[in-house]
Amino acid sequence: MDLSLSDEQKQLQDAAERFVRDKYTFENRRKIVATEKGFLPENWAQMAELGWLGMSFSEADGGYGGGPIETMIVMEQFGKGLVLEPFLPTVVLGGGMIASAGTAAQKEAQLAPMIEGKKQLAFAWLERQSRYNLADVSLKATKEGNGWSLSGHKGVVYNAPSADTVIVLARTSGGAREEKGLTLFLVDGKAKGLTRRDYPTQDALRASELTFDKVSVDTDAVLGTVDTAFPTVEEAVDRAIVALCAEATGCMDAINAATLEYIKTRKQFGVPIGKFQVLQHRMVDCFTNAQEARSMTLMASLKIDDKDAIVRRKAASRAKVQIGKSGKFCGQSAVQMHGGMGVTDELAVSHYFKRLTMIDLMFGNQQHHLTRYSAPCWTPSRSWRSPPSGPSATKWPARPSR
């Protein structure tokens, strides 16, 4: 057991901290939000140059052989600065799925340029009716000559406006909400028949609604094998959840620091409001919440590579519950303690609050993951013992049928 960062990891942390300090002052970020893409291509190029886009991939895949701890380190700093570059959709989700399911040719065509910063990705899984159920997919892909034809709708696809390739989760067989019968397709962002409705999100990211009207792709656009994409998707989403949790811990540190500074300086009744015990204790609770969020994120990052899918799912869900709970507490408390200033757009605090709120909703909120974690077929965990072995029987809890 060892919880200390290696020297390389410390250097990575310093570099990410420096990046955020230099590029993401509050005023700078405002300017980036207002640009056309909503992030800066030169920042993306710098991330590629620093090796961040490839660090979590194996050397065989053209990466640098890092793992979830490296992802955690940069995501945490991104959270502190509310970084806008599409690291999660491109690297963690898109890159992650291509690395785990892609052919050599697909890795060559997609992953290699992504690591160099020349290609961006998006992952289209959600549909209007899906809520948090990853298997609730009705966008249809049907055989058509030598390839496939995709028709249907995808929603809230983060980074779709800038994505060179969209990874689309489609139904190739089976009924609505069945885990079997799902297939992933690599679709060109400018494919014929694909239309986008772009919009900003609450937390200043960019996303789109995508309509697929008989979009044709070749057979080699299939990522992985036909009908069996679900485990790939579930694992990639679990990894994305852990990365998001790291981002959230960064947000919490930043929002807590801002609040602490505020209550030390803001005066009412002749004293800094931090002199009032009621606020002191609430501030301590924020601090404790952030500590717990960090602990759970670290634990999840250390367990997400586990071969046993149950261990992996539990780790992700546990962390997501904690982040949901802690993020809400820190966010709401920060706004409350800032008083009227907390509900304005003028201070960073409301921006962190919005990001933390949206993070809770991504890939299943606190309640969803509590239900997933408490699925009765999962035995209670013993954190340092070997996990139960054998095939994993548990599924992403199905959404109650309507």
Applying CB under 8 A, which residues contact other proteins? 1-6, 9, 69, 260, 263-264, 274-275, 277, 279-281, 283-285, 287-288, 291-292, 294-296, 298-299, 302-303, 318, 321-322, 370-371, 373-374, 376, 380-384
Closest distance of CB 278 from other proteins, Å = 11
**Residue 215: both structure tokens together:** 């979009």
Q: Which residue, 216 or 295, has its beta carbon nearer to other proteins?
A: 295
Q: Which residue, 53 or 279, has its beta carbon nearer to other proteins?
A: 279
Closest distance of CB 11 from other proteins, Å = 15
Close Cβ partners of 238 (under 8 Å, ≥ 6 residues apart): 304, 312, 313, 315, 316
Q: Which residue, 113 or 397, has its beta carbon nearer to other proteins?
A: 397
Do the strands 147-158 and 140-144 form a parallel or antiparallel pair, or are they unpaired? antiparallel
Q: Which residue, 263 or 356, has its beta carbon nearer to other proteins?
A: 263
Closest distance of CB 65 from other proteins, Å = 15
Q: Which residue, 170 or 315, has its beta carbon nearer to other proteins?
A: 315
Closest distance of CB 314 from other proteins, Å = 9
Alpha-helix residue ranges (DSSP H) falling in 266-344: 277-303, 309-338
Closest distance of CB 205 from other proteins, Å = 28
Q: Which residue, 227 or 285, has its beta carbon nearer to other proteins?
A: 285
Contacts 24+ apart (CB under 8 A), 168-171: 168/124, 168/139, 168/212, 169/123, 169/124, 169/125, 169/134, 169/137, 169/139, 169/229, 169/233, 170/137, 170/139, 170/140, 170/141, 171/137, 171/138, 171/139, 171/140, 171/141
Closest distance of CB 96 from other proteins, Å = 20
Do the strands 165-171 and 121-124 form a parallel or antiparallel pair, or are they unpaired? parallel
Q: How far apart are CA 317 and CA 354, in angstroms?
A: 21
